[in-house]
Amino acid sequence: MTINYEYYRTFYYVARYGSFTKAADALFANQPNVTRTIGKLEDMLGCRLFLRTHHGVTLTPEGRLLYSHVSVAHEQLQLAEQELTDTTALRTGTVTIGTSETALNLFLLQRLKIFRNRYPGIRLRILNHVTPQAVAALKQGQIDFSVVTTPVRPDAELSVTTLMTFQELLVCGSDYEELSHTKKPFRLRDLSSYPLIMLGRETMTYGFYNEWYLEHGARLEIDTEAATADHVLPMVEHNLGLGFVPRPWAEAALSAGRIFEVPLAESVPERAVILICNTSRAPGIAASEFIRFLKES
């Protein structure tokens, strides 16, 4: 049996107010139309739903049974409408982002603060991902989008937008300070005897540097493997070895004399903080607004 939802909606308001007239006011309808609608509903269901009295109407046992279900459905629909209204107005929602430490600290943190101030009702979930993890999570629908660093493997399912570029420099701690005073920049192969701190072989960062080393006839060997990019700088400061860090991260420690730049003959290739979206999955309203905000900023 297929019954027009408006019949149930009319029934809900008549039962709620116990009056055809009050229900008509709530529905912005006239009382005769409300009465006819209830009559049609009773005919279609084959039972009386209301007892008419001089003081209004009351539910029959069958009417009470129907109301116990209709009221729940109607109130859930009202709740859904309100939630959708709040979502489209960006008063509520959740955005889940996969990001790496480098991308978070170089670019995303400041934007998170601005977005949060602009839309305080939207919840932000930030997941720590290296680039391959972020791509996998994006394809599996676990995150709305990712903000990570290059390199990234080309993929037809993904759209990539460059948000900012940066360059890394080789730095050392006080135990290796003499390297910073050389008159002639070092070639990569000249530094093979010095311990190197870097992310592990499973990361795109390692692949990026390994390829660069090979291009210049050098061999990349890690002495201390860092779990995350933001571990490299403190390890360098504590003289565990040399390490490549983004220039913006190094500036304060360089100025304070806690670390020193090792001049290189070969220029470190530029890298980028990128926004990755899954073209086969449409993001929600809140995530779409954040993506638009990131692209504009």
Per-residue model confidence (pLDDT) at position 226? 93
pLDDT in tens, 79-118: 877 777 766 767 788 899 999 989 999 999 999 999 999 9
Cα 257 to Cα 242: distance, rounded to the nearest angstrom: 15
- H-helix or E-strand containing 155? none
Go through the domains of the chain in sequence order and give each one's CATH number. 5-88 (1.10.10.10), 93-161+273-296 (3.40.190.10), 168-269 (3.40.190.10)
Q: What is the mean pLDDT of each run of 10 residues along the chain (297 residues)?
A: 86 91 90 91 92 86 92 85 71 90 93 93 90 89 94 88 96 96 93 94 90 95 91 96 95 96 95 94 89 91
Beta bridge partners of 127: 98
DSSP letter (8 states) at residue 177: G
Q: How many CB atoms lie within 10 A of CB 117?
A: 8
pLDDT in tens, 252-262: 999 999 999 99
- H-helix or E-strand containing 124? strand 122-128
Per DSSP, helices labelled H in 201-284 are 204-215, 232-237, 247-255
**Torsion angle, alpha carbons of 122, 123, 129, 134, to 10:** -50
pTM here is 0.71
Per-residue model confidence (pLDDT) at position 44? 92
Compute CA distances 33 → 14, 74, 116, whole Å. Answer: 12, 20, 49
Compute CA distances 4 → 10, 34, 190, 264, whole Å. Answer: 10, 14, 81, 76
Give 128-132's long-range contacts (Cβ < 8 A, gap of 24+).
Answer: 128/99, 128/100, 128/101, 128/228, 129/98, 129/99, 129/100, 130/100, 130/199, 130/202, 130/203, 130/204, 130/205, 131/100, 131/203, 131/204, 132/202, 132/203, 132/204
- H-helix or E-strand containing 75? helix 61-88
Per-residue model confidence (pLDDT) at position 194? 96
Per-residue model confidence (pLDDT) at position 87? 63
DSSP letter (8 states) at residue 267: P
Per-residue model confidence (pLDDT) at position 89? 64
